[in-house]
Amino acid sequence: MAIENKAPGKDISEEDLKTKFPLVAKKSADHSSCFSVAGVEFGGDLIPVMAGPNMVESEQLIVETAQAVKARGAHFLRGGAFKPLSFPYRSEKYTETREQGIAWLKTAKQETGIPIITEVMEERYIDLIADVADILQIGTRNMQNYPLLTAVAKTGKPIMLKRHYGASLRDWLGAAEYVLVEGNEKVILCERGVSVAHTHRSSSRFLLDLQVIPAAKEVTHLPVVSDPSHATFWRPWVEPMALASIAAGADAIMLEVHPDPENSAVDPLQAINFEAFKALMASMNKVAQAVDRRVK
Instruction: Using the minimum distance from each CB to its own copies, give the nearer residue, 38 or 215.
Output: 215
Instruction: Using the minimum distance from each CB to its own copies, give the nearer residue, 112 or 264.
Output: 264
Residues 50-69 that bind its own copies (CB under 8 A): none
- Give the shortest CB-63-to-its own copies separation in angstroms: 28
- The verdict on 247 binding its own copies (CB under 8 A) reads yes
Compose the 194-223 pattern: x for residues touching its own copies by CB under 8 A, - for all others. xxxxxxxxxxxx-xxxxxxxxxx-xx----
- The verdict on 127 binding its own copies (CB under 8 A) reads no
Tell how strand 159-162 and strand 40-42 pair up.
unpaired
By CB under 8 A, name the one of 46, 103, 244, 276 that touches its own copies. Answer: 244
- The verdict on 183 binding its own copies (CB under 8 A) reads no
- Give the shortest CB-75-to-its own copies separation in angstroms: 20
- The verdict on 279 binding its own copies (CB under 8 A) reads no
- The verdict on 294 binding its own copies (CB under 8 A) reads no
By CB under 8 A, name the one of 165, 229, 258, 293 that touches its own copies. Answer: 165
- The verdict on 93 binding its own copies (CB under 8 A) reads no
Whole-angstrom Cα distance, residue 83 to residue 216? 28
- The verdict on 181 binding its own copies (CB under 8 A) reads yes
By CB under 8 A, name the one of 7, 39, 127, 131 that touches its own copies. Answer: 7
